[in-house]
Amino acid sequence: MPKNAITLNNGVEMPAIGLGVFQTPPDVTTAAVEEALRLGYRHIDTAAAYANEREVGEGLRRSGIARDDVFVETKVWISDYGYDATLHAFDKSAGKLGLDRLDLFILHQALPSAFDRTLDAYRALEKLLADGKVRAIGVSNFMPEHLDRLLAETSVVPAVNQIELHPYFQQTALQRVHAQHGIVTQAWSPIGGITSYREAAKSTFDDPTLLGIARLHGRSAAQVMLRWHLQKGRSVIPKSTKPARIAENFDVFGFELTTEQLDAIDALDTGVRGGPEPDSITLEAYGRDIPEA
């Protein structure tokens, strides 16, 4: 594994930077994955709900890189929660990816109004872990109260909680809970992509503080944000379909932010979430069929 690896709570090593592929259209996913792997990425983050696992698998194969040298992470969608359904979700995702084993398999969201179903889904992940079908398991978008219940009612502490985290939304209380339990914080929208999707929203890419720090290092705002996460011990999964940006987002090992610069970025937190409120996730509103492999 490359030097930027983070050791998960079960000893498995995960490269800190992965390529994200949310909203990457299937017809460009294979090329993006292949390009990332060519540039040195060794971690890809996809999800059943992104409808591009098949194309991710094709990119992995075309890269020619040995299977064991790439860390593949995917997520179970809420429509496949429940013990048997989630075991089958593994077959669907692994089948589309063309892999026998996944490196990290996580629950995409908690279902607060159907938490027993969420717990059953997690118990299926525990079974997949015990059977060696996945090397690590985790969750995404879990809030402290969801983690509390999960930890109380299941056996394996999640290796990772993948959450919205960028300079404008930092979830520090949740990060403290992660630290208490040895859960790695994995930042989604790590460069604040979600702050730029809506026209009216203030985008992290235009932030004067970030641009000022970037200028001092001869870097971009995106690189400064990624460096900030890495120096704080977090995993990041920036998404791009553009080769130049895929390269830029991986070229973050040749400089270091000062404590003052890290503090200045910490101070940008607005406390305002860009993505959906985790407690608003219901099967009725967000359920969708995940096709067979």
Residues that bind ligand NDP (CB under 6 A): 20-22, 45, 108, 140-141, 162, 188-194, 205, 220, 222, 237-242, 245, 248-249, 275
Closer CB to ligand NDP, 8 or 19, in the complex = 19
Closer CB to ligand NDP, 130 or 137, in the complex = 137
50 is an active site residue: yes
* Residue 120 burial (C-beta neighbours within 10 Å; 0-12, 13-18, 19+): middle
Question: What is the distance between the alpha carbons of residues 2 and 54, in angstroms, rounded to a whole number?
Answer: 25
Q: Pseudo-torsion of CA 45, 48, 51, 54, nearest 10°?
A: 70
Measured CA angle at 72 (ends 70, 292), to 5 deg: 135
Cβ atoms 205, 190 nearer than 8 A: no
The candidate with the shortest Cα–Cα distance to 205, out of 167, 235, 169, 172, is 167
Least separation in angstroms between CB 128 and ligand NDP: 19
Least separation in angstroms between CB 145 and ligand NDP: 18
Q: How far is CA 133 from the centre of its chain?
A: 20
Question: What is the distance between the alpha carbons of residues 157 and 144, in angstroms, rounded to a whole number?
Answer: 13
Closer CB to ligand NDP, 178 or 239, in the complex = 239
Least separation in angstroms between CB 38 and ligand NDP: 17
Closer CB to ligand NDP, 133 or 219, in the complex = 219
Question: Of 41, 50, 81, 168, which residue is the catalytic one?
Answer: 50
Q: Which residues pair with 74 in a beta bridge?
A: 105
Least separation in angstroms between CB 222 and ligand NDP: 3
Q: Which residues are catalytic?
A: 50
